Amino acid sequence: MSLIKIYYHQYVGEWYDNPNCPFDLDEMCMPPESVIGIEKQSHPHGMIYYDCPAWSHKASRLYNINCPIDINLEVVDNKIASRTLPQQMLQDYICHNSNTDTIQFNIPRYLFWTDHKNVWIEFRPHPLTSVKNNFVSLGGWWNLSAWSRPASFAMDVVDKTKPIVIKRGDPLYQICFYTKNLNDRVVFIKKEPTREMIKQVMKRTCIKNFIRNLSKKYIFKYQEESRCPFAFLYKNNG
């Protein structure tokens, strides 16, 4: 069993244009929140499933990503309107295709990365947003060790006749991490990315728009463990 360090940085929009983004301040930043910790705070006297090792093992590597601001949106005549966000912010950070019910958000936007090999990250819907907030986030996964990129999220509107109402601290979606040994423990570390990392990450973001098959090769790449070149000297020939 190993301790897997996941680094993260939160921002809004393209952070190379706004390196001093207030969303990365400690008082504004919403770190990934442990699901197992939330459950135990909500039910301090315990729930029957707390004793189930299958539930607790899964929940220990599952985290909520929460909204850093209040958001109130409506779809009016296939266009997005908001009572809480100025029009410029809607244009800059929220994208809506009028032909679909899908909305792309850059609030919040995260960069996750790790130095460990073959760590996969999964985005998955939070089970309560369809009831509480009128949306369902879209899921996906990739090999974080091989492909670090800005991670925003998209949602499908459940009922276009009703508003999307999100309060600061409400869950938007969940993330989960998979390693070669599923008994590994994950720990988050808030860290500022280097300028070189920013350049590489933005190149990876752009490449998928031009060479889709090549980007898939790296997104789902399996990294072989490095082997000692002199391992044959220790081979048991008996």
| Mean pLDDT along residues 50-54 | 83
Alpha helices (H) in the chain, listed in sequence order: 35-42, 53-59, 87-93, 129-132, 195-207, 212-219
Measured distance between the N- and C-terminal CA atoms of the chain, rounded to whole angstroms = 31
| Mean pLDDT along residues 187-191 | 92
pLDDT tier, 229 (very low <50, low <70, confident <90, very high otherwise): very low
- Closest by Cα among 120, 129, 196 to 164: 129
The domains of the chain are located at: 3-65+107-151+175-234
Pair of tokens at residue 132: 């509480």
Q: Answer with the residue of higher pLDDT: 229 or 2.
A: 2
pLDDT value for 49: 78
Neighbours of 12 (CB within 10 A): 22
Contact by Cβ (8 Å): 152, 10: no
3-state class (DSSP) for residue 4? strand
Q: What is the enclosing helix (H) or strand (E) of 156?
A: strand 150-157
Contact by Cβ (8 Å): 101, 160: yes
Q: pLDDT tens digit string along 167-180?
A: 999 999 999 999 99
User: How many Cα atoms are found within 13 Å in the side-chain-facing hemisphere of 35?
Assistant: 23
Q: pLDDT tens digit string along 3-41?
A: 999 999 887 766 555 556 666 677 778 889 988 877 666
Statement: residue 203 has pLDDT above 80: no
Statement: residue 218 has pLDDT above 90: no
Question: What percentage of the chain reaches a pLDDT higher than 90?
Answer: 36
pLDDT value for 27: 74
Please give the distance of CA 177 from its chain centroid, rounded to a whole number: 10
CA pair distance 215, 194, nearest whole angstrom: 22
Q: pLDDT tens digit string along 67-123?
A: 988 999 988 888 888 988 888 888 878 888 777 788 988 888 889 999 999 999 999
Tell how many helices (H) and how many strands (E) occur in the chain.
Answer: 6, 14
pLDDT value for 19: 57
CA pair distance 136, 127, nearest whole angstrom: 8
3-state helix, strand, coil split of the chain in percent (to 5) is: 25, 35, 40
CA pair distance 189, 200, nearest whole angstrom: 20
**pTM exceeds cut of 0.85:** no
Q: List the single range of 79-83, 156-160, 184-188, 209-213 with lowest mean pLDDT.
A: 209-213
